[in-house]
Amino acid sequence: MNFEFFISQRLISEKNTKNSVSGPIIKIAIIAISLGITMMLIAFATGMGLQEKIREKITAFNGDITISKFSSNQSQISLDPISIEQDFYPHFDHPEVEHIQAVATKFGIIRTETDFEAIITKGVEKNYEWRYFEEYLTEGRLPNNYKEVKYSKEILISEYLANRLQFQLEDQVVVYYMKDENSEKPRMIVFDVVGIYNSGFEEFDKSFLIADLKQLQRINKWQKNEVGYFEILVKDFNKIQQVTEQVYQQVPSELDTENILQKYPNIFEWLSMFDMNIAIIISLMILVAGINMITALLVLILERTPMIGILKALGATNWTIRKIFLINAGYLIIKGIFFGNLIGLGILLIQKYLKPIKLDPTSYYVTEVPVYLDYSYIAFVNLGTLILCLLFLIIPSIIVTKISPVKAIKFD
């Protein structure tokens, strides 16, 4: 092994000499591997980041799974109340259920002196999971709906609605609600703006206003133990279909379950296309890197034909000589992988923390390119590239076995 390593190091030290034909080709191969690693890391980080960020935004406004009454109503408006006194509330007995919360929604209209806007008021309870809105908060604070008061007037409004209707923190917002389907006169409720959020998901930001659940119970003339529906947050989103079926089996027969994959199929079908794009990019990058390394190895072998002849004459076996070239090629691959990681992770870290690259939220549902960094796919990209490139090189290294010592020593 020491002999093989010594010879491979000699190949490396001589490959960039002025008279070496393989020098520029090897440089191109290293650059190709570096660019391939960079592109694969960016594809993984941004593709998975976009999927994760959009899923989080949908979950913030809808939960992962909803439990509601069977109804022909396909909108997000709560029509028929559900009793909060359920066996599965406030703690759902399932290992994959992270949190369950009671909510209600109601259609309303915000009215100002010069304009109006149709909105959906989402009423939330005191144990509502705020972690997503904490991230989206741009001004003010979250509503303090857990206070021991009859009902809270504090609301969270989107930056889109605040700009559109000229609202600021501590302003009062007048919202009109219909009491029921038969009522002719709407009911006016005055809210206080205590926080402004921007999720970047314009479809939701245009519509949702976050208020106290007790306000909607009062407007709908529901009892204190009646809510619109329940939202469930799951621990592992990849298991959401399985968890949805199991949750359905655990709830009463008059209740139905629906997850966000079923509720927003178009968005998630679009997101699933990123998996295919990532697979295509990885395949192309590894193929390009493999072809460049094959070319570099062939040129290196042809350039070192006299040396191969001498080694064979001295008794070296074909496999020993092949290993010498494979070790040398492995060094070049690792060098390309190192620079690829340096460039790729550098770009991703800049985007993650400085966010220089922006996106149109109307098309991508996010305001900047999201970055998801995880050791698993970084290791997969690096080890996969190294192993596959070395496997590609085993076949062209067979040319070593075809070289005759007598002819090779004469070769120039």
Separation CA 303–CA 316 (nearest Å) = 18
Model confidence pLDDT, tens digit, residues 314-347: 777 777 777 877 888 888 889 999 999 999 999 9
CA distances in angstroms from 197 to 27, 57, 133, 147, listed in the order given: 50, 12, 7, 21
Q: How many CB atoms lie within 10 A of CB 375?
A: 7
Mean pLDDT of the residues in the chain = 85
Contacts of 332 (CB under 8 A, 6+ apart): 12, 26, 29, 30, 33, 293, 296
pLDDT of residue 212: 92
The total number of residues written for the chain in this structure? 412
> Could you give the angle at which helices 265-303 and 305-313 cross, rounded to 10 degrees?
70
**21: pLDDT strictly greater than 70:** no
Using an 8 Å Cβ cutoff, are 90 and 155 in contact? no
**26: pLDDT strictly greater than 60:** yes
**73: pLDDT strictly greater than 90:** no
Q: Give the largest CA-CA distance in the chain.
A: 104
Q: Which amino acid is at 375?
A: Y
**401: pLDDT strictly greater than 80:** no
Q: Which of 75-84, 282-291, 356-365, 377-386 has the highest mean pLDDT?
A: 377-386
Categorize the per-residue pLDDT at 15 as very low, low, confident or very high, splitting at 50, 70 and 90: very low
* φ, ψ (nearest 5 deg) of residue 45: -65, -45
Percentage of the chain modeled with pLDDT above 90: 47
Q: How many CB atoms lie within 10 A of CB 275?
A: 12
Q: Is 1 helix (H, G, I), strand (E, B) or coil?
A: coil
**79: pLDDT strictly greater than 80:** no
pLDDT of residue 390: 86
Categorize the per-residue pLDDT at 278 as very low, low, confident or very high, splitting at 50, 70 and 90: confident
Q: How many CB atoms lie within 10 A of CB 75?
A: 10
Note the pTM of the prediction, 2 decimals: 0.80
Model confidence pLDDT, tens digit, residues 112-155: 888 889 999 999 998 899 999 999 999 999 988 656 567 889 99
CA pseudo-torsion sign 259, 68, 203, 357 = negative
pLDDT of residue 4: 53
Average pLDDT in the 353-380 region? 88
**76: pLDDT strictly greater than 70:** no
DSSP-derived secondary structure for 255-308? EEEEEHHHHSHHHHHHHHHHHHHHHHHHHHHHHHHHHHHHHHHHHHHHHTHHHH
**300: pLDDT strictly greater than 80:** no
Q: How many CB atoms lie within 10 A of CB 121?
A: 25
Categorize the per-residue pLDDT at 282 as very low, low, confident or very high, splitting at 50, 70 and 90: confident
Model confidence pLDDT, tens digit, residues 153-173: 999 999 999 999 999 998 999
